[in-house]
Amino acid sequence: MKNWIIVLLLLFAVTSCKTRNSAKKANKNINIDSTFVLEDDRNPKDINQPVINKLPFFEHVIPMPQFEQIKINSKVNVETGSFVPTLDATIYIEKDKKVWMNLTAFIITVARGIATPEGIKGQDKTSKTYIDSDFDYLNNLLNVNFIDYKSLEKILLGRTFVRINDSQFTLTQNSQGFKMASNVTQKIVTDEKTREYNIVLNYDTNYDLLNVNLKDVLSPDELDVSYSNWEEINGIRLPRNVKIIIKGSKNSQILLENTKFDFSRIDTPYSVPSSYKKIEIK
């Protein structure tokens, strides 16, 4: 399998469009204990202090942002142990429907792909090969087992894409922001397998997600995603830089530099020539 397909699918998993509303109202479906008491956390110490009133935190990090479509232009650098040139990516997200991506190198399109609730399709124009499959391939590439279209869209939009709750996670705050850490291993069951993770999420003081770390407790597999250089564009928070590190049975690193954001609708062509050969991802 060529590196273009690897890059394409990895980018579907954790790319750059990490957004949230700057003034989103509370999600009525959030199950928060009404007995929480508001305390003055305006001047937390540098050490982590337990957050007593957790409602504002959940109000900001759980709801999805409101938008119709977002287009991002990115510079992508990938380290997989084999040479991959710097790629230019156009990433287009149409809410609840699709994630489309076009990758170019030296102005030439080398790969294209699309993710929908039904699965993932991708083609490598350099080797004339393609894939057409469910999300198992994406999970295998990221060393995890829980990504479907909904969680994928949450990752792309910067939302909390793993399930968190008050009873199994501890929320603390310091002068740099918030930390949400699992206090028991998180068991995620899918049709294919059951895995257990230790999970830590870090947010800054205005609830921008800074880092997500998932460690499989029974293997060396680990996924770490970091975001930096946040900006507010059209009322939505977006990061200029994303770093993805995959460790364990597979090791790779992806660096994205987001250069432009656009909210206009674009065409998203995708078709596979009859001469292309279908491949399986191992």
End-to-end CA distance of the chain: 9
pLDDT tens digit sequence for 178-232: 999 999 999 888 776 788 999 999 999 999 999 999 999 999 999 998 988 888 9
Q: 147-155: long-range contacts at Cβ-Cβ below 8 A with a sequence spacing of 24 or more?
A: 147/13, 148/117, 149/115, 149/116, 149/117, 149/118, 150/117, 152/12, 152/13, 152/99, 152/115, 153/93, 153/95, 153/96, 153/99, 154/64, 155/13, 155/14, 155/225
Q: How far apart are CA 231 and CA 83, in angstroms?
A: 32
Domain 3-267 falls under CATH 3.40.50.720 = no
Amino acid at 27: N
pLDDT band at residue 282 using 50, 70 and 90 as cut-offs: low
Task: Find tokens 């291993």 and name the residue.
Answer: 185
Confidence of residue 41 (pLDDT cuts 50, 70, 90): very low
Percent of the chain with pLDDT over 90: 47
For 102-107, which contacts have Cβ atoms below 8 Å and span 24 or more sequence positions? 103/4, 103/7, 103/8, 103/11, 103/76
Question: Where do the structural domains in the chain lie, given as residue ranges?
Answer: 3-267
pLDDT per position as a tens digit, 136-185: 878 877 778 888 888 887 777 777 788 888 889 999 999 999 999 999 99
